[in-house]
Amino acid sequence: MTETAETRPGWFSAEELEGLRGRMPLVYVQAVPVRVDEVGQVTHVGLLMRATPDGRFHRSVVSGRVLYHERVRDALLRHLEKDLGPVALPRVPASPQPFTVA
């Protein structure tokens, strides 16, 4: 069975989402996964390798939409686990402050 907007409650079709983006702001999160050493210095920066429909690859950061009534922290955790897998065990501060808002 093919998933459609009707079979996935809370999700819009591509056409509906494009129309909404033109009429109202939608909140997205983007995160750059890093590993730190015992003193808090960044030792590794993680980027995702994504394939495009034409078969090329590009690097990207963890990103995704914040759902209605969802906390930013919960959205970050959801997208980190989706992109990196549940074994990544991401540690997100209890009250993350955005680096930038655009």
CATH label of the domain that carries residue 55:
3.90.79.10
Asked whether residue 54 is domain-assigned, the answer is yes
Helix, coil or strand: residue 65? strand
The residues facing 49 across adjacent strands are 59
Asked whether residue 7 is domain-assigned, the answer is no
pLDDT at 39: 92
Token representation of residue 42: 């960044």
- Return d(Cα 34, Cα 43) in angstroms, integer: 7
- Return d(Cα 93, Cα 86) in angstroms, integer: 18
Q: Per-residue pLDDT tens, the chain, 102 aa: give them.
A: 455 545 556 678 888 888 887 888 888 899 888 888 999 899 998 889 989 899 999 999 999 989 888 888 899 999 998 988 878 877 887 887 777 776
Q: What are phi and psi of 48, to 5 degrees?
A: -95, 145
Asked whether residue 99 is domain-assigned, the answer is no
Asked whether residue 82 is domain-assigned, the answer is yes
**Number of domains observed in the structure of the chain:** 1
Asked whether residue 24 is domain-assigned, the answer is no
Domain housing 71: 29-88
Asked whether residue 14 is domain-assigned, the answer is no
pTM of structure: 0.69
Asked whether residue 71 is domain-assigned, the answer is yes
